[in-house]
Amino acid sequence: MKSRKFGLTVLSLTLVALFSAATFADHPQRGQDIVDTAVGAGSFETLITAVKAAGLVEALKGKGPLTVFAPTDEAFAALPKGTLEALLQDQDALRAILKYHVVPGRVLAGDVVKLDEAETLSGEKVRIEASSAGVKINDSQVIKTDVLASNGVIHVIDKVLLPPDQKTDIREATRDLIRHAIRRGVPLYNHGRHESCAAIYEVTAKALMHFASNDMPRAIRSGLREAMEKADHERDASRRAWILRHGLDSVYRAMSEDL
């Protein structure tokens, strides 16, 4: 396990890891590999840049076959912006994130439901759970299957997968994110900009629910979700900010225990 801490960078940077499935063609032209499929969609400049920076172009264009679990654009929408440059400068982190979403072999939907785990190109395993509600990869839901390429297959998921060796920093990254939100929010609130303060707290809460929810105690996770729902129905910006702040404070305390 790497000792290097990725902190907030890893927490937010996984958004550039893989393919957005929204514009994938269901039936790519004959001879199109995984990279060609992405390029042919016309809206994957960030993906191609990331793959080049990670030195994985040849791997994804190779004979394969490979299976890619690909998060949607919606899975990335609530994540912090402006962090792509930092990730592109850290090839090891970029490669680890990309490779954790790729499994050797062509694993079609009919095969996935028969498995309970699969080893990725990073060497780490993802959990697979099939039920009447569908198939989950770790804590992400498979929402579209069997997007075929000449050298593999893509399955669309609704949440970015986080490699286990990076989860060791989730507690610290969570606290850092909350501290950063409070440092930004308090001055705004004190100057009467309650709406802006509440917006910062809301974005932070959404980011935590996206990445760190599985690392929170169940009661804390439920409490934060309830705070977000309550704030969403509160018209007064001052009260909305305080509701969200109390929710974030509870998460901070919980993620500071037993370290």
pLDDT tens-digit profile of 135-154? 999 988 998 788 788 998 87
- Superfamily for the 7-164 domain: FAS1 domain (2.30.180.10)
- pLDDT at position 214: 67
- pLDDT at position 182: 93
Would you say the pTM of this structure is higher than 0.75? Answer: no
pLDDT tens-digit profile of 99-137? 888 899 999 988 888 889 999 998 889 999 988 888 999
DSSP states of the chain as a string? Answer: ------HHHHHHHGGGSS---TT--SSPPTT--HHHHHHHHT--HHHHHHHHHHT-HHHHHSS--EEEEEE-HHHHTTSPSS-HHHHHT-HHHHHHHHHTTEEES---HHHHTT-SEEE-TTS-EEEEEEETTEEEETTEEEEEEEEEETTEEEEEESS----HHHHTTHHHHHHHHHHHHHHHHHHHHHTT-HHHHHHHHHHHHHHHHHHTGGGS-HHHHHHHHHHHHHHHT---HHHHHHHHHHHHHHHHHHTTTT-
Mean pLDDT of the chain: 76
Predicted confidence band of residue 87 (pLDDT cuts 50, 70, 90)? low
- pLDDT(5) > 90: no
Q: Where are the domains of the chain?
A: 7-164, 170-254
- pLDDT(156) > 50: yes
pLDDT tens-digit profile of 45-55? 666 777 788 88
Q: Residue 94's closest CA among 152, 10, 33, 191? A: 10
